[in-house]
């Protein structure tokens, strides 16, 4: 039986005020290699730490069930090998890489009957929100939402000059824990603050206008509350901005912090400054991924 390999980009979501809506695909990848077997269930063949194996197994099983339910095909077992460089529980869309990689591989094996939009909607339903699923599927910048119960997104290209200076701390932030800290209601002033800045961010990325983005990443909906889990957040962002960054944000629910460099030349100084704000972290300078997942 033939195997299928899928490469899926990691992604950063929210971009500050665009809570559960905005996302960008990044040039950091996970890979899913899937081979059908006579078994009745999925089996992970790659070495995964015990703490991550249980979660990955559940993500894969749920994704497979969703795929077979959507396509109304008879389910089958498979071996799946997970590899790559998207860190777990760091706010870079690792769960989407597993879910989307699994579903895209099954789709390829069974004749590719589902479109990219179909795959995006299945993964969004599994995730509960589309902000990482959209860029991982389509690449580039995306504004996404659940509208009338269905995931929808608009994709934009990202300027090839932009660099995303990505600081990954040496500690995890589980998404459920981070979501519990976000209040259920917000003031009108905070809602308007985020809505206006989200609109400007989207328009500025559409134009590739870095200067129009300056000052727009400030958030009042989730970052002030999640800062309890990443207390160095404002310090790291300020350090990046003083070194030349357009601005910065908590990637997803954290713990990763990202600052936007308008050009590749400004990225090294920004990376050094951010690292001084949170020593012991890893720092990567990434461009945006323009294509989304890819069948290898």
For the domain that residue 53 is a member of, what is the CATH number? 3.30.230.10
221 and 254 both lie in a single domain: yes
* Residue 183, both tokens: 């209040």
Predicted confidence (pLDDT) per residue in 133-175, tens digit: 999 999 999 999 999 999 999 999 999 999 999 999 999 888 8
119 and 169 both lie in a single domain: no
Q: What is the pLDDT of residue 37?
A: 93
Nearest to 239 by CA among 276, 184, 266, 187: 276
Percent of the chain scored above 70 by pLDDT? 99
Cβ neighbours of residue 36 under 8 Å, at least 6 residues apart?
1, 76, 77, 78, 109
Is 104 a residue whose pLDDT tops 90?
yes
147 and 168 both lie in a single domain: no
CA 178/CA 47 separation, integer angstroms: 27
Mean pLDDT of 45-73: 88
200 and 227 both lie in a single domain: yes
CA 283/CA 28 separation, integer angstroms: 12
138 and 276 both lie in a single domain: no
CA 136/CA 120 separation, integer angstroms: 9
35 and 176 both lie in a single domain: no
Q: What is the pLDDT of residue 14?
A: 97
The H or E element spanning position 274 is helix 267-277
121 and 192 both lie in a single domain: no
Q: Kindly list the distances between the CA atom of residue 148 and the CA atoms of 20, 103, 127, 191, 266, in Å, as whole numbers in the listed order.
A: 16, 23, 17, 21, 42
Q: What is the pLDDT of residue 146?
A: 96
pLDDT, the chain, mean: 95
Q: What is the pLDDT of residue 89?
A: 84
Q: What is the pLDDT of residue 1?
A: 61
Query: Which range of residues forms the domain containing residue 263?
Result: 163-286
Q: What is the pLDDT of residue 46?
A: 84
Is 49 a residue whose pLDDT tops 90?
no
The H or E element spanning position 146 is strand 141-147
CATH number of the structural domain spanning residue 230: 3.30.70.890
14 and 133 both lie in a single domain: yes
84 and 223 both lie in a single domain: no
Mean pLDDT of 223-244: 96
142 and 42 both lie in a single domain: yes
244 and 181 both lie in a single domain: yes
Is 53 a residue whose pLDDT tops 90?
no
Q: What is the pLDDT of residue 180?
A: 93
Is 209 a residue whose pLDDT tops 90?
yes
Is 50 a residue whose pLDDT tops 70?
no
Q: What is the pLDDT of residue 47?
A: 80
Instruction: For strands 42-44 and 77-84, give the pairing.
Output: parallel
Q: What is the pLDDT of residue 93?
A: 96
Mean pLDDT of 32-40: 92
CA 125/CA 146 separation, integer angstroms: 9
Q: How many domains does the chain have?
A: 2
Predicted confidence (pLDDT) per residue in 13-30, tens digit: 999 999 999 999 999 999
Cβ neighbours of residue 74 under 8 Å, at least 6 residues apart?
68
86 and 40 both lie in a single domain: yes
Nearest to 258 by CA among 289, 288, 236, 273: 236
Q: Name the 3-class secondary structure at 51.
A: helix
């Amino acid at each position: 039986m033939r195997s299928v390999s899928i490469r899926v980009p990691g992604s950063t979501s929210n971009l500050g005020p665009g809570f559960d809506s905005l996302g960008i695909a990044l040039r950091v990848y996970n890979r899913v290699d899937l081979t059908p077997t006579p078994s009745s269930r999925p089996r992970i063949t790659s070495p995964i730490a015990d703490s991550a194996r249980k979660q990955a197994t559940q993500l894969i099983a749920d994704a497979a069930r969703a795929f077979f339910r959507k396509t109304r095909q008879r389910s089958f077992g498979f071996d799946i090998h997970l590899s790559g460089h998207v860190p777990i529980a760091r706010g870079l869309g690792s769960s989407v890489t597993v879910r989307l990689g699994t579903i895209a591989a099954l789709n390829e094996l069974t004749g590719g009957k589902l479109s990219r939009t179909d795959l995006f909607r299945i993964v969004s339903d599994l995730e509960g929100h589309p902000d990482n699923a959209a860029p991982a599927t389509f690449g580039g910048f995306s504004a996404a939402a659940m509208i009338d119960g269905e995931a929808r997104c608009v994709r934009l290209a990202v300027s090839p000059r932009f660099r995303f200076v990505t600081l990954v701390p040496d500690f995890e932030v589980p998404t459920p824990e981070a979501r519990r800290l976000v209040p259920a209601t917000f003031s009108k002033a905070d809602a308007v603050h985020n809505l206006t800045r989200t609109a400007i961010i989207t328009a500025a990325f559409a134009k590739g206008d870095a200067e129009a983005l300056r000052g727009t990443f400030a958030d009042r909906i989730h970052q002030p509350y999640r800062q309890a889990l990443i207390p160095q957040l404002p310090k790291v962002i300020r350090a990046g901005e003083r070194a030349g960054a357009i601005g910065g944000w908590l990637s997803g629910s954290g713990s990763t912090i990202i600052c936007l460099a308008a050009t590749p030349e400004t990225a090294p100084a920004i990376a050094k400054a951010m690292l001084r704000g949170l020593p012991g972290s890893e720092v990567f300078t990434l461009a945006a991924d323009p294509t989304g997942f890819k069948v290898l």
